[in-house]
Chains A and B, each alone.
Chain A
C-alpha cells in the first residue's frame, strides 16, 4: 500500500474545501474526506495484518523512500508498524468525530474545517515518518493551525491561551530540533531505522536526550511544562479541544518513544529515574489539581495531565509491558478525552455554562449526552470494559517489574491516583448529570442530534473495543513495542 495516500487525501480534502461555498458544502466535503481517511486507515490495518500473516517480520512495513534534499541527507522516508497504525486509526476516529460535532460551525466555516483537516495532515505525516527531518516538518504543520483555531474560534481568554500554547509548543519544537540535530551530527544520518543500528556514545546521548525528550514531553504535558494544557483546552472550540487532547498530545508521547527513547536508549536508562519522578508528580499532582477545578473543561484538561503521566511513566519504566502500556494509554486517552470534550461541548452549547456548580440533573433532560458523559467518566476512572482500565493496568503491571524501592513507590503512588480520579469524576458527574435540576430553563433543552450521536458512537466503539477485547490491539502494537524494547535492551520480563 502506498502510505503517501494518507497525506494526499487530507491535502486533497483541504484544497477542495477552499473551493467550496457555504457551511453545507464545506462540512460535507470535510466529512467525506475524513470518513474516507478512516476507511483508508482500516484498509491499512487489514493489509498490514495480511502482510504480517505472510510472515513478513521486518520492523516497518510499506516503506517508501525518496531523496528530498541530498546534501543534508534528508529523505522523504515513510513506513508503518503496529504502533503507527494504532495512532493513525486514533487520529482518523477523532477527526471524524471532531468534524461531526462541529456540524453547525457558522463562523468562518471554510477556514475552520480547512484548519482541522490541515492539522490532521500533519499528524498523519508525523506518524508515518521514518526520517527525522520529515518527522519534524510534519510536527510543525500540526502546531500552527492550533494557534489559529484557538485564537479565532476560541472562548474566554483565548488570545492569552492561544499565544501561550503556541509559544510553549514552539519552545518544545525548538528543543526537539536541537536534539535531532545532535543525533544528526553524531551519526550523519536522519533515518530513524539507520540510526537505530548505530551506537551513539553515551556522553552524546546524555547531552541530547533531554532536549528531545523534554521537547516532545511538552507536547505530552510533561510536568512542569504542562501549563499550556488547561488554558489551551479550555479556550479552544470543542473540535479543537478534541484534536489537542486526542491527537496533538499523542504526537509528544509518540515522539518521546519513537525518537528520544528508541534512538538514545542508554540515556533513557540513565535518566529513567528523573522521568519517573516527573511522571509520578504529574499523575498525583494532576489528579489533585483536577479535584479543585470548577469548570468542566479544566477538569478534563487537568485530568489529561494526570492521565498523560501514565504514558510518560510507562516509557520511563523501560520494561516491555510498561512501554506497551504507554502506547495503549496514548490510544485510550486520545479516544476517551475526545469523547469527554465532545460531551462537554454538547452540554455547553445547550446550557451555555461549563461551571459544575451551575449544572445539575441533566440526565433527565438529555439522557443521551449525560450517558456519554458518564461513559467518558467511567473510562477515565479506569472501569473494566473500557480502554482506560486495560491501559492503566498494563502500565502498572509493567512498572511493578522494576524491583527498586523508589520505582515501587512510584508505582504505588500512581496506582493511588485511581482513587483520586474516582473522586473528581464522581463529583463532576454527580453534580452535573445527577441531582436535582438547577435551572428551570434546562427543561426546554433538547438531547443530542444525529451528528453528535454518531460522533459519540464512533469514539465509544473504539473505547469499548479496546476495553472488551484488548488482545486485538495487543497483537497489533506488540511487535512494535517489542522492537523498541529490544533497542532499550534491558531484558526484564516477568518471571
Chain B
C-alpha cells in the first residue's frame, strides 16, 4: 500500500498559519502576514501537486483501476464501538483532483490579495480567515467519515461568514454574512438528519463502509433502509434527499440560492475563492462522494437532476438582467453548478453510463479556473473604477490590457467555445444529458446559449461600450497581474487534460469520443448568442433598453430575481417572528411566569389573612377558643346521632 500520510501536511499548514496569524498577526506581523500566508500555502500547493503526480501517474492505479486509499485515520469521538467520528484522509481520484484545485486557486487568491488588500487595517485578520477557510475546505475534501464532512462543512460555512462580513462596519455586509450563514445552516439541518439516518441504518459513519453496505442489494443494512419508510418514501430516499438539501444549501441550488448573490459583499478575491471555485461546489462534491449510494436510489437522483437543471436555467435568466458585475458572476456560478448537479443526476455508476459523473467532475475542475479568473478580473476592474456597477464601466480595454485579455479568455472558456477549457467539460455534460433525458438536454442547450449571451454582455459592457472616463492609475501591481495570467493559461489549457482516463465514477478509464456533429448545435447556438451580445452591447446604444422593454413584465421579474427573496422575507418577517416568536415570548411572560407570580401572590395573600389570627390580643384568643368549643359542641351533638 503506497504511503500518503504526508497529505496530512497539506491541511495542517494553513491551520498553523491561521493560529499564528489569528493570535499574533495583528500585533507582530501586520504587513508580513500576507507573505506568511502565501508562502505557507505555496508549500501546501507543492505537496498537493506531488501527491497528485504520485497518485495519478505512479502508484494510485492497481490493475487499471484507481484505488480508494485511507491514508490516515484517528478516532475522534466514539459513540459506540462501531459508530464513531473519525478524522481521516481519503485518497481517491476526486479528492486528489480537489486537492489540486483548492490549493492552487487558493494560492492564486493569496497572491492576488497581496496587491488587492494592501493597506487594509485588518490585513492579518484577512489572511488568517483565508487560511482558516483553506484548512476547512481541505479537511472537507479529504474526509473519510460522513460526520467529518459535516464538521468541516460547518467550518467552511463559518469561514465564509467571517469573510463575507469582513467589512463589518457596512450594514449590507453584515446582513449578507448573516443571510449566508443562516440559509446554509437551515440546509445543514437536512444534512444532519440525513447523517443520523445513514448512521442509524448503516451502523457506521465511515463513508467507505457505508457505501459498501448500502450498495449491496442483499445486505441487511440496505434491505432495512429500503424497507423502512416515512410518509410513503423509503428511508434511503429520505436520507439521500436530506443530504442533498445540505449540499444544495452550500451549492446555492434553488430555492436555497438566495445567499450567494448577497455574499458578493465580501472582498472580491474571497468571492473568487469561496463563492466561485471551491466552497460552492462542496454540494456537488458531497453528492459525488456518496454517488454509489445515490446510484441505488432513482428517486433521489431525480431530485438532484431537476433541482440542478432548474437552478441552471433560472440563474442564467436572472444573470442576463443584473447590472452589478459581481452579481452577474454569482448567478453564472449558480448556473454552472446547476450543470454539475444535473450531470451527476443523469449519471449512473460505472462504465460508459458513468459519463455524467466524469463530466460533472470535469466541469467542476475547469470551472474553478475560469470562474476564479473572472472574479479576479472583476476584482481588478473594481479596484480601478471603485464601483461594481456596469454603468460606471466601459472602454476599459485600453486602460487594462492584461485584465482585458484574461477576462476575454475566461468568457470564451465559460461560454464553451472551442478550444477553451469550458468547451470540453460542457460538451461531455451535454452528451451525458442527451443520452439519458431529452428534456434536460434541451434546458442545458438553452442555458448554454444564455451563458454565452450574458457573459459577453458583461464583457462588452466592461471593456467596450462607451469611452472610459476613469482616471487611470496603472493596472495594479504584479501580484494582481500574475495570477490573472496564470489562470488565463489554465483556462486555455486544462481542457486538454485527459480527464476521462483519470477521474471516473469507478476509477476505471473511460473512453470518450468527441463527435463533431454533436458539437454543432451547442457551439452554433453559443456563437449566435455571442454575436447577439456584441450587436447589442459593443457600442453604447438604446437597443438593450428596447429589448428589455419588449419583455416588460418578464424582464422586471427576472431583474427582481423572481421575488424569491421577498418570499423568504415574508416567511420570516410576517410569519416566523410575529406568529411564532412573539406569541412564545408573550406566553412565557404572561402565562408561564404569570402563573408563578400568581402562586407567589396567592401565598402572600393567604399568609396576610392568617397572620391576622395571631394578633397577640388575649380577648381575641378567648373569642376563638370559645367559638371553637361551641362549634365542636354543635358538631358532636349532630354527629353523635
Contacts and interface: CB of A to CB of B under 8 A. Distances in A.
Contacts of A394: 77, 79
A394 B84 CA distance: 10
B20 to A, nearest CB: 16
Contact of B75 (A226, A367, A393, A471): A471
B158 A383 contact: yes
Interface in A53-85: none
Interface centre among A226, A378, A423 (most CB of B within 10 A): A423
Interface stretch (A121-129, A329-337, A426-434): A426-434
Nearest to A468: B76
B78 A474 contact: yes
B189 A415 contact: yes
Given A400-B200, A435-B169, A494-B83, A418 B185 contact: yes
B193 A436 contact: no
A495 B592 contact: no
Interface in A352-393: 361, 363-364, 367, 378, 381-385, 389-390, 393
B203 A494 contact: yes
Contacts of A427: 178
A477 to B, nearest CB: 12
A471 B178 contact: no
Interface in A412-443: 412, 415-416, 418-419, 422-423, 426-427, 430, 433-437
B593 interface: yes
A289 interface: yes
Contacts, number: 131
Contacts of A434: 165, 168-169, 174, 177
Interface string B538-563: 00000000000000000000000000
B82 interface: yes
A266 to B, nearest CB: 24
Given A385-B155, A426-B178, A474-B77, A227 B82 contact: no
A226 B589 CA distance: 11
Nearest to B594: A227
Contacts of B152: 384
A396 B189 CA distance: 12
A365 to B, nearest CB: 11
A396 B600 CA distance: 37
B584 interface: yes
Interface in A272-314: 285, 288-289, 291-293
Dominant SS among interface residues on chain B: helix
For chain B, give the interface size range.
35 or more
Contacts of A397: 79, 83, 196, 199
A401 interface: yes
A214 to B, nearest CB: 14
Interface string B83-125: 1010000000000000000000000000000000000000000
B80 A321 contact: yes
A363 B77 contact: no
B154 A384 contact: yes
A419 B185 contact: yes
Contacts of A423: 182
Contacts of B165: 430, 434
A320 interface: yes
Contact of B80 (A361, A412, A435, A494): A494
A437 B78 CA distance: 45
Nearest to A405: B230
A393 B79 CA distance: 10
A289 B77 contact: no
Given A364-B169, A401-B200, A434-B168, A493 B186 contact: no
Contacts of A7: none
Contacts of A293: 585
Interface string A454-495: 000000000000000011001000000000000000000111
Given A167-B600, A427-B178, A434-B165, A384 B79 contact: no
Contacts of A400: 196, 199-200
A224 interface: yes
B155 A384 contact: yes
B182 A426 contact: yes
B192 interface: yes
A398 interface: yes
Contact of B182 (A415, A422, A493): A422
Interface stretch (B322-330, B364-372, B574-582): B574-582
A436 B200 CA distance: 47
A401 B200 CA distance: 7
Contacts of B81: 493
A148 interface: no
B151 interface: yes
Contact of A288 (B26, B75, B154, B580): B580
A202 to B, nearest CB: 29
Given A364-B169, A434-B165, A435-B171, A494 B596 contact: no
Contacts of B151: 384, 389
A227 B592 contact: yes
Contacts of B565: none
A389 B174 contact: no
A435 B168 CA distance: 6
B301 to A, nearest CB: 24
Nearest to B78: A474
B59 interface: no
A378 B158 contact: yes
Contacts of B596: 164, 168, 225, 227
A226 B600 CA distance: 15
B174 A430 contact: yes
23 contacts: A164-B600, A224-B595, A227-B593, A289-B584, A321-B79, A361-B168, A361-B169, A389-B154, A393-B77, A393-B85, A397-B83, A400-B200, A401-B200, A415-B189, A418-B189, A426-B178, A433-B168, A436-B169, A471-B77, A474-B77, A494-B80, A494-B83, A494-B203
Q: Which 8 A-B pairs have the closest CB atoms?
A: A292-B585, A384-B151, A227-B593, A434-B168, A495-B203, A494-B80, A494-B83, A288-B584
Interface of B: 26, 75-83, 85, 147, 150-152, 154-155, 158, 165, 168-169, 171, 174-175, 177-178, 181-182, 185-186, 188-189, 192-193, 196, 199-200, 203, 577, 580-582, 584-585, 588, 592-593, 595-596, 600
Interface of A: 164, 167-168, 224-227, 285, 288-289, 291-293, 320-321, 361, 363-364, 367, 378, 381-385, 389-390, 393-394, 396-398, 400-401, 411-412, 415-416, 418-419, 422-423, 426-427, 430, 433-437, 470-471, 474, 493-495
